[in-house]
Structure 1
Amino acid sequence: MKYLFIALFLILYCSLIKGDSKKFTVNIYDNDPLFSPDFENANGEKNGLVQKILGSDGNPIPADYTLTDSNGRFYIKNATTFKSWFNEVPGVSIRVPYELVLTQSTSSPNFYSFSDDTFFPINTLGWYNKSIKSNYPFKTYKDSQGNAQNFHFCLHASFVMSTNCKEVFNFKGDDDVWVFINDVLVLDIGGVHGAKSGSVNMTNLINKIHSDPNTKGNCKVGTYPFDFFYCERHTSASTCFFETNMGFTCSYFDYCGVCNGKGECCVDQKVNQCYTKKCPAPNSLPSGATNYQDYMTVVSTSNCGATDSNKCNIYSCNNSTGCVFAPKVCNDNDPCTKDSCDPTTGYCSFTPTNPTVTTTCLITGCNSTSGKNYSIPTNCDDNNKCTVDTCTEGQGCIHSQKCDDDDPCTVDKCNASDGTCTHTPIDKCNSNCPSCVAQPCKILSCNTVNSLCNYTDVVYQPSSVCYTASCDLQTEDPVYTPIDASCDASDKCFVPQCNSSTKACNRIPAINCDDNNKCTTDSCSGGSCSHAQINCDDNDPCTTDTCSPTDGCVHTPMACKQTSSCSTFSCKAGTCVATPITCSSSIKCQDSICKEGVGCVSFNRTCPPEDDCSSSYCSMESGECESKAYDPLPFSCQSIGVKVGVGIGAAAAAGIAIGGAVALGLAVFGSKKAYDSWKTSRGNVMSGSQSNPLYTQNNNNGNNPLYSSPSE
C-alpha cells in the first residue's frame, strides 16, 4: 500500500506541478525564396557571417558578402537581401508579432525555457495569409511528414537582463542563431544546418562583453541588453529550444506592444515631395498607449543638394515637383566689381574691374555710380599766364617761362595780364658769331664787341623745393633729382609727394589693390596688383578651415555624424571618436540602460539571484538587491539525505518541500486543514502549485471529493 501511495503521489506531482510562464511579444519577419534568395539556399553551418558588434539600428551587420560554401553558394547575397531578415521590407518581408512564452522550471524556478521541435509559428500569417498568398505563385515546402510548412522566417527577441556573471543560456536549433549581450556577439551559429547546440556562460564572458565605457570587456554585475536573433531558412525541419536563468525582462514596450521594440507597426508617411510624417520614438508614448498616429510629426526629408559638391547651387524643395536649384546670386550692386561665387566654399567675392590708380600726373578708376571708367589729369595750372604748365611723371608739375625766344640779342618780356610776349632787340648787338660752337647744356652768347663766344650753364628750375634740377648732357632735357632719395618715382606702385616744409618725401600708394576680399593679401609690384591667398590653416585637425571674402578665415568644427543613439561622436585628432552615453536613474530600484535606436530607457530593476535556490528582489529602503532562499526549497536544492532517505511522510512532518511534493502529499494523505496549516506557515513560497486544486471548490457545481474531509 505504501508504494501505491508513492506511485499515486508521483503521478499527481507530475501532472499538477507546473511553473509560471513569462510572455513576451517579439517580432517575426516572414520571408520567402520567391523574394529573397538567402532563403532555401542550402549552404551549411558558417560562423563569422555577422560582425561582432551590433549595428546602430539594433540588428546584426553582415561581415562579408563574398563568403560561399564549397559549392560556391553564397551565405548572404548582399546588404539588400540581408535587410529583410530582421526588418519589414515592402514586397520582400512581412513583420508578424508573435507571443513568445517562456515556461518556468518546476525543479529550478530561476530557469525558464522555450521548446518546440516543430517550430512553425506563422504558417497562416505573413505571406501565407489567405488574402495575400493567392496573389503570388508561392512554392509549397513540406516537412519530413509531408506537411506544408512555412520554413522561411527570422525572429528577433530583445530583452534586458541583470547579471551577477553566473548565468547561462543554452540553445539548440536551426538555422542561424546569434546572441548579443550589451551589443557584443557572444553566440554565433550561422548558416543553414540541422539542429545545432550552443551556450553562453556569463562566467566565461570575462573580456568578451564591453560593460565599461573605457574598457571593452570584463563582465560586471549589472544590467545589459540581450538580443536573440533566430532564422529558419530551409526545409525540412524547424527546431528551437533554449533555457536560461538570465531573468529576462523588458525595459519598455513600444506602442506596438513589442518588448523593447522599434515601433515597427508605424510606417513613415510621405506627405509630399518635401515632407514626411515621421513615426515617434518607440518609447515616447505614455505607458500602454498605442495611438502613435497622434504623435507623428511632419519633418523635411527632401535632402536636396546633399550630393552636389558645387556650393554655389542653392537648393529648395517644391512640394509638388521636389528638389529645384538655382545658381547663387552674388551682387553687391556695384557696377565696378566682378561678382562671382566660389563653388568650393559658396562664398561670394567682388573684385574691382578697374581699381583706382593714382600717378603724379593722372588718376584713373571706375565710377561706381555709372560704371564708366574715368581718367583725371593732375591740374598744374599755376594761374600764371606767363608760364607753360606741364606735368612730368615722377616729378609733378613744371612751369616753364613762356616768352624765351632763345635770341641773345633780344629782351624777352611777358605781359602778366594777358600772357603776350614782347622781344625787344638789344642795340648794337651782333648775334653773328661764326666761330661759336654749340655745347650741350650750355647757353651760347656772342660778345658783340669782339665777336667772341660766351658760354653759360643751362639752369632749370626744380619742380618743387624737394628736387634739384640739372641738365642731361645727352638730351639737354632737365633732370629732377629728389633731395630725399625715397621719392624715386621709378616704382609705379607709389606716388612720391614732397613735404615742402621738411623737403622729405611721402610715398602714397598709386594703385588701389584692394580686391574687397579678406581671403587675399593684396600687394603691388611694378605697377601691377597681385592677390595671394591667405593661409587659414589653424593646425587643428578637428576644424574645417575655409575663408569668407567678407569675414576672413572661418574655422568650422568637424561635424561627426551621430550614427548611434547610445554614443556621442566627437572629433579627436581628426577622427570621429565615439563616447558611450552613460544612462542613470536617481530613483531607487530603477535601472537605466541605453538601447540602440531608442536611447536611454529606465525600468524597474530585476535582481539576479545569488544561486538557484534563492530569489532576489530590490529593497525600496536600501535600493539594493537582496536575496532570500526559497521556502520550501526546490527539490534540486534539498540535501542528498532528504532526496534519498527521507520518506514522504517524514518530509511532511518535518515541513520540508520536495519541489511542491509535500503540499501534494498532504493533499493526498491529509486533510484540507492540514494543507492550509502548511500553506500559511510558509514564507517565500516558490512558484508552482501555489494553491491546491484538490482543495478548491468546483465552480461547475460539481463536488470535489477531496474538498470536504472526514477529518475537517
Structure 2
Amino acid sequence: MRVGLPRLALALAVTCALVAGAGAAVCPVGVGDCCAVDADCDDGDACTGLETCDASSSTCVAGTPVDCSDQDPCTDDVCDPLTGTCSNPPAVDGTPCEDADACTAGDACALGRCVPGEPVVCAAFDQCHEAGICDPATGDCSYAPVADATPCDDGDACTVGDACVAGGCVPGVAVVCAHLDQCHDAGTCDPSTGDCSNPAAADATPCEDGDACTVGDACVAGSCVAGVPVVCGAPDQCHEPGTCNPATGTCSNPAKPNGTACDDGNACTSGDTCEGGTCAGGAPVVCAPPDQCHDAGTCNPSTGTCSNPAKPDGAVCDDGNACTTVDMCDGGICSGGKPVVCELPDQCHDAGTCNPATGICSNPAKPNGTACDDGNGCTTGDACEGGSCVAASPVVCHAQDQCHDVGTCNPASGICSNPVKPNGTTCDDGNACTRSDT
C-alpha cells in the first residue's frame, strides 16, 4: 500500500512575512507556501487532499491525503493525481509479505497473493530436547526435553553411557584405561578423542608369554619375552623324562618298561621292579634266626637289617659238641650241658672216649680171653673174643636118677630141668629084697 508524497507546506514553516519582506500584509501568491486564499495552496494533486490557506499565518495547510491502502501487502496502493481515484494493482512478484503465519519465513507475493515461505524448522537445539513446535502466532519454537535416559554425548569422550536427565546431558561412566596387556600399564583417557594412552610396563615386569613351558617370562619394551624353558625331568625311578605341553605346562610322564630295576624304598624287599610306572617290591627279606639261641627277627624297612632277638635263657640248643648233653641258651649263646659219660657198653669192652663230632663213644674191646658171662647160664668158661663174649663149654644136664630123664638147661638160670620118668617105668630101688620096682 504505497502512499504518494504530500506536500510538506507546514514542514517548511517558512513565514510569509519573511519572504514578502517586512511590513507585508499578505504573502505574494505563488511564493513558497505562502497564500492569500485557499486556491493559492492547491498543489494540483488530487491525491493530497484539499489544501487550505491559514489566514492568520498566510500559510498553506495541507489537506488530508487520499488513503488508497487495501491492507494487502501484495498490491500496490496507487492514487490517480488527476482524479484522486485509488487503484490496487498486484505488487511485483517476490515482494516480501507476511502471510499471518509466524511459522513461515521468506513469505513473498506472487500474482498479487502472499505465498508462504519456508516453514520455520524448530530443530532440537541440543541432544536432550526434542525438535520443537512453532507457534503460528509468535513464530517461537517450544522445546520439550527428551525422555530421561536417552543417550547423549556430554562432549567428554572419556565418559560412556551419557544420558539425558531433565533436559540436561549427564556424564556416564568414566572410561577406564585398563592396561592393554600384561606388558603395559593402565593409561589415561584423552577427553577430546576418548583414546587411552598405552604406557609400556617397566622392563623385567613378570608376564606370561602364553607358552606354559617357559618360566620367568618378563616384559621388555612392552613385549613379553619368554623365560627359561621347563625341564621335564623323570619324576621317579619308574618313569622316563617327559615333554612339556605348551598349553598346560604339564610334563608327560612316560613309564619305564615293566621289569626295570628300581628301589621301592623298603630295604626289606629285594629284586624290586617297575610295573606300570610303579616300583613294586620284590621278594621280602626273610629274617631267619641266625642261630639256635635266637628267634627269627623282623626287618627294618629303613636299613634292611633284621632284628636278632635272643631266645629265653634255658632254651634247649646244641652247642655243636655232641659230647655234651642238655645244652641250653644263656644270653643268646648256646652253653654246653653235662658231658657225655662213655660207660662200658658190655663186659668185653673197656670204657671209651666221646667223639665231639658225633657224640659216639669209642668202644675198645677187652683183650681176648678176658672172662665174661655171655648171659646164658647154660654155658661155662665164657671168655671175650674180639669184643664178644664167647661161650666155652655147654652145661650137660644128666638124669638125676633112674626115675628121671635127662633134663634141659635153663639159659636164664643155668639149672637143668629134672623131668620124672613115666610111672611104671622099671627101676631099681637098690633093695635086692624087692622085685619089679617101678
Q: Which has the larger strand fraction?
A: 1
Q: TM-score range by the shorter chain?
A: under 0.3
- Bigger relative contact order, structure 1 or 2 (CA pairs below 8 A, ≥6 apart): 1
Question: What TM-score comes out, normalization by structure 1 length?
Answer: 0.17
